[in-house]
Amino acid sequence: MDSTDSVVMMNMPNTSGGGYRSSKSSSLFTTIYNAVHLIVLLIAFSLSIYAAKTVRDLENDTNGVTGVRLSIGKPSPLASNENSFSFFRGSGVWHHKRRLEGGARSDFQAVSIEGDKTDFVYIFGGKDASGTYLNTVLRYDSINDSYDSMKNMPEARARYAAAVMKNDLNQNEVWILGGISAVTPGVDGGYDEDTDKVCPMVYNVDTDTWRTETGTRCLPSVVKDACAATGSNNAIYLMGGYGVDYSVLNSVYKLAGPLSSEWVKTSDLPDPRGDVSCAALKNSIYLAGGWHDTLTGVAVPYVSQSKLYSLDVLTDVWTSTHAEMKNSRGDFQLVANPIANSLLAIGGETNTTHNIGGETNTTHNRATQLATHHVEEYFVAHDAWEDRQLIPTARFRFGAAFKNGVFHAFGGHVHGGNHADALSSHEAYYPLDHPDVWVTVTSS
């Protein structure tokens, strides 16, 4: 070692406490590190180019040869003999979570509050396995997988709609709208008589307190099995449902804000719907499915629907040209995912194509109260529905909510005509984050 090296060594302490490192050693180490780092970056860059090129090559090379091609993003427009779907359809995974505290319940709503920086989902009322109407409230902690009992509702309520509105103090409040508080059994085989409710019960999440609205803040008429959502304008919209005699409604009522004095009737639904579900995304409220016999104009004999509509809350105009769900259904849950700007349709009640009792009219589907496992996701950007992993337990008349990137489905029914079939199970769906790759199939 020459004198120059010796001088350098004595003036370059090794901060790790292991003596001294020469400038040549340090320089060599840095060179090797930078070289390895550069090689890794080049490999990653090359792989990304290769992946993109592979997709593009498959898109070009297989077009018209095998009848299948891949593309980044949904191709549009499609030829009349082409069909496209997400490469990742059927994705996601369901997990079993802690069962509902207090046992089985159905005919209720589960509510989460977007942007509240908590981990909670709220569950209100419903019916238990004996058919008793409930006024109990649960708060589910989505992180600890546990439940707490909150302040009871002023009275029992099921088959209602629910939406969140900020009050004039900027506190979150859950509005329980319409529905039924009890049922009186029919006499001599007659129809049961519902105790219908029109005055909203309002739950203040911040203070764990309730109030019941009166006067013109009550609904103008009986509404049950409807849906509700809050628009970007902080107004609540109550849509569809059934009237006092189970006539199918196309009405839409709006409460414009926390200080509004009354519900105002606004633009009607394009088609009446009962047992319908809706959810808000950005400036639109989307409404899907439900029950309506388009030929007779009444709910019975109950034909499940697959149409999707949207209301622009800024213009009060409906759009009816969206892609339809792959599976018709009612009594299901349509849950918004604001992160992906998408909607998830979970479970629900569907109907068969078999005639009941030897009827000769084959126009209508007859058998109902059939729970479905089907789950599908609507992508607003693509105006397309894609299948997702089936929910393990078929269910309808249940509650569902989206919290911290996860969809939760609570309770519900296996068969709507039997209270004993109510569920206490709770299942959670974890979406798969994936690239926007689509498959297009060309038929001969």
Q: What is the CATH number of the domain that holds 125?
A: 2.120.10.80
What is the spatial distance between Cα 342 and Cα 163, in angstroms, rounded to a whole number? 19
Token readout for 31 is: 């060179």
Q: What is the pLDDT of residue 2?
A: 44
Residues 10 and 131 in one domain: no
Q: Tell whether 74 is covered by a domain.
A: no
**Looking at the structure, do residues 35 and 122 belong to the same domain, yes or no?**
no
pLDDT for the residue numbered 60: 58
Query: Is residue 310 located within the same domain as residue 435?
Result: yes
Q: pLDDT at residue 54 above 70?
A: no
- Residue 32, pLDDT score: 75
Residue 284 lies in a domain: yes
Whether 386 maps to a domain, the answer reads yes
Residue 303's pLDDT is 81
Amino acid 15: pLDDT:
41
Report how far residue 5's alpha carbon sits from residue 22's, in angstroms, rounded to the nearest whole number. Answer: 7
Separation between Cα atoms, residue 58 and residue 42, nearest integer Å: 24
Query: Token pair of 36, please?
Result: 């390895």
Percent of the chain with pLDDT over 90: 65
pLDDT exceeds 90 at position 207:
yes
Residues 137 and 56 in one domain: no
Residue 379 lies inside a defined structural domain of this protein: yes
Q: Do 149 and 21 share a domain, yes or no?
A: no
In a domain, 220, yes or no: yes
| Residues 125 and 39 occupy one common structural domain | no
Stronger pLDDT, 310 or 42, i.e. the higher one: 310
Domain boundary among the residues 15, 41, 61 is at 61
Q: Are residues 277 and 414 in the same domain?
A: yes
One domain, residues 199 and 244: yes
Summarize pLDDT for 59-98 with one digit per residue, the tens: 555 554 458 888 988 888 888 888 888 999 999 999 999 9
Examine the pLDDT at 344 and tell me if it is beyond 50: yes
Residue 239's pLDDT is 99
> Residues 352-392: pLDDT tens digits?
765 445 444 444 445 678 899 999 999 999 999 999 999 99
The DSSP annotation for 276-291 comes to: -EEEEETTEEEEE--B
Q: What is the mean pLDDT of residues 267-288?
A: 97
What's residue 296's pLDDT?
Answer: 54
- Residues 121-137, buried b or exposed e (16+ Cβ, 10 A)? bbbbbbbbbeeebbbbb
Helix, strand, coil percent content, the chain, rounded in steps of 5: 10, 35, 50
| Paired tokens of 294 | 């388009």
For residue 300, the model assigns a pLDDT of: 47
Mean per-residue pLDDT for 174-199? 89
Cα distance between residue 56 and residue 78, in whole Å = 17
Task: List C-alpha distances in Å: 382 to 77, 252, 334, 377, 386.
Answer: 11, 27, 18, 11, 10
Least confident segment among 2-6, 23-27, 363-367? 2-6
pLDDT tens per residue across span 228-257:
999 999 999 999 999 998 899 999 999 999
Between 419 and 121, residue with greater pLDDT: 121
* 72 within domain boundaries: no
| Helix extents (H) in 12-167 | 23-61
Residue with tokens 């989307």: 286
189 pLDDT higher than 90: no
Tell me what pLDDT residue 58 has: 56
Q: Using CA of residue 265, residue 276, residue 109, residue 340, what is the dihedral sign?
A: negative
Residues 41 and 104 in one domain: no
Per-residue pLDDT tens over the stretch 151-184: 999 999 999 999 999 999 999 999 999 999 998 8
Task: Identify the pLDDT of residue 19.
Answer: 43
Instruction: List Cβ neighbours of 141 (8 Å cut-off, separation of 6 or more).
Output: 119, 120, 147, 148
Q: Mean per-residue pLDDT for 303-316?
A: 95
Phi, psi of 95 (to 5 degrees): -130, 145
Give the residue with greater pLDDT, 61 vs 344. 344
For residue 75, being part of any structural domain is answered with: no
- 254 and 120 share a domain? yes
Range of the domain at 25: 3-61
Average pLDDT across the chain, whole number: 86
> Is 137 found in the same domain as 179?
yes
**pLDDT, position 377:** 98
Q: Which pLDDT value is given to residue 423?
A: 97
Residue 176: inside a domain, yes or no?
yes
If asked whether residues 54 and 104 sit together in one domain, one would say no
Half-sphere exposure of residue 7: CA atoms within 13 angstroms, side-chain side: 3
Give how many domains the chain has, as a whole number.
2
pLDDT the model gives residue 137: 99
- Position 444 scores a pLDDT of 72
SS3 175: strand
